[in-house]
Amino acid sequence: MIPASFPPKDEIARLTARMLLEIRAVHFNAETPFTLASGLPSPTYIDCRKLISFPRIRSVLMDFLAVTVMREAGFEAFTNIAGGETAGIPFAALMAERLALPMTYVRKKPKGYGRNARIEGVMGEGDRVLLVEDLTTDGGSKLNFVDAIRETGARCDHTAVIFYYGIFSDTLPNLAAHGLALHHLCTWWDVLAEARAQEAFDTATLREVETFLTRPRLWQDAHRKT
């Protein structure tokens, strides 16, 4: 069902952060940093994949994502919803259901047999595609998916995620240079604010997380493994 209620963006961000904290998708550890997919250290880690196991929360978040996209991109902006392999697939399916649109998904690379396809489902020239994923850090993985979508002759000018790191200054310019607009529900700053409001972590940990969020590259350089 297409949602018809449009909460303010700051309230969506606060409630999204609250839900992520409630299901323990947020992990802060300043003493033993996590290693990101890039190989760089971080005192923060978020696991949006957990959301698929919480029906009430995932339903509300998908309503939030649908209204965010409609408000920012348009009510009739898309004809196809595509999920990025693998984390984006369930959220794309839920978004397609809400917006009453066809759903497809994009492989990270050709599967190497059969049709050797990267796009599963029906997508083609003239389609206006919304790429859906769980999160984005610096936006790099999105460009690979977008290029595969555009190779079909379809347009892909927008991507939507539940969580956007919101701390790397080059992310939005890089996406914009590729003709891609980003829509999201919340960032690390929203999560940090809600974590402080709930006293979900000790003060020292929250202070170190803020240091990382303020100057992430400097923090990572200082904590690289030698």
pLDDT, mean of residues 10-19: 98
Band of residue 1 on the pLDDT scale cut at 50, 70, 90: confident
Choose among 174, 6, 50: nearest CA to 159.
Answer: 174
Q: What pTM value is reported for the model?
A: 0.93
Helices (H), ranges, the chain: 9-22, 55-73, 88-99, 140-150, 171-177, 188-198, 203-214, 216-222
Partners of 159 in beta bridges: 131, 182
For 104, the 3-state DSSP assignment is strand
In whole angstroms, how far apart are CA 207 and each of 9, 102, 214, 224?
Answer: 26, 45, 11, 19
Residue 164 identity (one-letter amino acid):
Y
Q: How confident is the model at residue 226 (pLDDT cuts 50, 70, 90)?
A: low
* Confidence tier at 52 by pLDDT (50, 70, 90): very high
Per-residue tokens: 205? 């940990």
Please determine, for residue 40, whether its predicted confidence score (pLDDT) is greater than 80: yes
Mean pLDDT, residues 15-40 taken together: 92
pLDDT at residue 116 in the model:
61
C-alpha torsion angle, residues 111, 107, 152, 145 (rounded to 10): -140
Q: What is the pLDDT of residues 150-207, one digit of tens each?
A: 999 999 999 999 999 999 999 999 999 999 999 999 999 999 999 999 999 999 999 9
For residue 199, the model assigns a pLDDT of: 96
> 115-137 burial, b if ≥16 CB within 10 A, otherwise e?
eeebbbbebeeebbbbbbbbbbb
Instruction: Kindly report, residue by residue over 61-85, the tens digit of the pLDDT.
Output: 999 999 999 999 999 999 999 999 9
Ordered structural domains, the chain, with CATH: 9-219 (3.40.50.2020)
Whether the Cβ atoms of residue 106 and residue 151 lie closer than 8 Å to each other: no
Single-letter residue type at 217:
R
Name residue, tokens 């969020």. Answer: 213
Encoding tokens for residue 128?
Answer: 């206006």
Q: What is the pLDDT of residue 110?
A: 77
Does residue 35 have a cis peptide bond before it, meaning omega lies within 30 degrees of 0?
Answer: no
189 burial type by CB count under 10 A (0-12 exposed, 13-18 middle, 19+ buried)? middle
Render pLDDT for 102-156 as a digit per residue (tens, 0 to 9).
999 999 887 666 566 799 999 989 999 999 999 998 877 789 999 999 999 999 9
